[in-house]
Structure 1
Amino acid sequence: MAGEPAEAVGYDGSSAVGSGEPLGSVRTGAFAADRFRERLCGLSHRTPQGSPSPNGLRDGSRARTRGRRRAAAAQRSVSFGTDSADQVVLRNVDPAVLDPARDAAVVGDPDDRSEVAMAIKFGWKQALAAAAGVAAGVGVHMVKEAMAFRVEHEDVHIPGLPPEFDGYRVYFIADIHRRALPEAEIAALLGKVDIVWIAGDLTDRGVPEERTRANMRMLRKLGPAYAVYGNHDYEAYMPNMEKLDRLLEECAVKPLGSKNVPLHRNGSTIWLAGIDDLGPAGMWRGDPRIRREDCVLVLMHDPKWVVALRRISANYAFAGHTHGGQISLPLVGPAASKPFYKTYLDGTHFIDSEDGGMTGLRITRGIGTSHFPLRLGSPAETHLLTLRSAPKMEGTR
């Protein structure tokens, strides 16, 4: 029957295998017959090894020749037919060619596969399908996380901030890169912002100028806007940075560079000090307009300039650049390339300075991405900061 191992029988119906009969017949299913035919064809390509002897090479060659002749003869002699039960009959089968123990697996019905093998195969397929589904889901999540637009509302308590600036609202954004800012979400901030700070990488290589111009105009509508340049701005416009200066000025956004500008409110003044990504840094200390007791807030792109804050303190500093690692793997953490950026990745830090002061440092993950538009565990963000006056602590500027 189909599904049972093939049985070799003599012409009179008696078993031929092992009985000394030179040739016999095999009854089996159609699929098994095809498999058996394939095995017979394969025999003609096998080359049995001869027994070791002093004439090993010659004996081996003779054995291989005999094996090929025997297999070819067996292949030519076998004929196929059917009996009354619609089973395939293989006639003239050489018993030496047919090995029931071996051919039970080769000539058997395909439904005889073990349940364990089937379960393993099915399990692998299920596992691969599940892995593909998880990968696709993670990919979609990474794109959504990169393209999301959120505004984080937070209070920043600044020691030494004049009471007149308590409640001063700053829209803080960094690392726009290739993104086109969403007009509706930016427009929703109208009337809620006193000033805009752009902490570098406001464009990137290959970004159309019109997109950068549209982004800057949207931000300028919120209030007076100041920007420092980041490394990607230099990569996009060097050696003609004046072109980017002109673009910002057309949009009424002021390139801050490493300059200091006074900010006035209710008769009081604080200073916004820029640190250009190429330096120099700490220029507020040498500005004769800035008194020791004045409040200085620093806007920079790369927190690497914390080295300047360690020498010369300010009241507070704001930076971007890190993207919060952009890709932060579970159990591994952010894919930051340098130990420094694993420390100064995002959030708030406090820096002790050689002059006896202490500077707060707020690092944003930024709104855009670099290299590829994906984020994981480090969602894009912008900030609506409300500055709060706090008494000076010991060790602060």
Structure 2
Amino acid sequence: MNATVQSSALPPLVEPGPELTVEEIERYSRHLTLEQVGETGQRRLKNARVLVIGAGGLGAPVLHYLAAAGVGTIGIVDDDRVSVSNLQRQVLHGVEDVGDLKTESAARALARLNPLVAVQQHPVRLNAQNARDIVAGYDLVLDGADNFGTRYLVSDACALEEVPCVWGSILRFEGRVSVFWSGRGPTYRDLHPEPPPAGEVPSCAEGGVLGMLPGTIGSVMAAEAVKLLTGIGEPLVGRLLLHDALAMTWRELRVVADPATPSVTRVSDGTLDADGPGACERAPGAPGEPGAEAETTSAARDDAVTAGELAAMLDRRAAGRAEFALIDVREDWERRLVSIPGAVPVALDALLDHGIEALPAEARGVPVVLHCKSGGRSARALARLQPNFAYREETVRHLDGGVLAWVRDVAPHLPEY
């Protein structure tokens, strides 16, 4: 393993821009006072073009601090809309922004903070067809994506366009930060050659995330961006920073390029199966949304049903033409927010510990459909139960996309959480 790991500052990513105006000198005076930044460094920030993937938990502090620092052009990629559940951690948005595109809400917030910064909105889902074109227009990428598929897309596009990427991830109380830069150090594929199996690692929607954690990790990401743009300090190239908010500790691990990792020749198509560490903010399973578990849905598999199929099944059951049990493996508080009619609650832990014995009487001898919020937990329960159903006439499947898909495709009048 022979990745180049810098022990000192790398060359600045951008050349200095135009002379600072009097307004800019006043606004950025604290930077100008720093010998390492100074007027030349601030002019580099002014001339920089930075792309931020995601305007959610990590994107919120990243965008705030990049705009405040005077980065001249900031691009935002996100096709999601602001929801009430975002406000616990996505401090870029407010109640008045609920329902709006996150790119629009973010652009308004940045304009209020620093009208000298230009914001370019990309309200699209990043995919194999558009990733390189979007990345190519920027000097640096900050990846605050919420799913494995997008992370591999970003990594591949950055490698092909020779653009460094500041990467961050959050889950529960833990966060990670690194800088991936093909040719100068490892890439995301060196850290995670393959995604974990579906359902093995929960998304933030299912595993939760401390509301303040994105601020901590996002601030580190923004600091790395300023260092790379201005050529100061020692960036996290070849280093992985790990933070535990509960223990309030920081650890550092060395990461080197794996010679066995194939060279990137094209942008991956994103057809991956799992969200993972740092996969926030929207749960997996909603095609066309940043948190989609994969660009292809699992509905084509024999072990999954779509929300539309489940609705038809429930109608046939109500008419006495079908028999099956719908099992809800979510927590009680989640069911209080929104539930699918006719579902029977069963604790996920009970299913994982006891398998088929944990199913209620009404689920014995009939087909079973499991569901959770977005598909991750039900996939785990499905994997646990499948061996029990291997020699049975009945089937066990789960709802692709969970309650989020049900609300989106069948019952849009119900609240989303």
Structure with the largest fraction of strand: 1
Structure possessing the higher radius of gyration over alpha carbons: 1
The TM-score, its normalising length taken from structure 2, stands at 0.27
The TM-score, its normalising length taken from structure 1, stands at 0.28
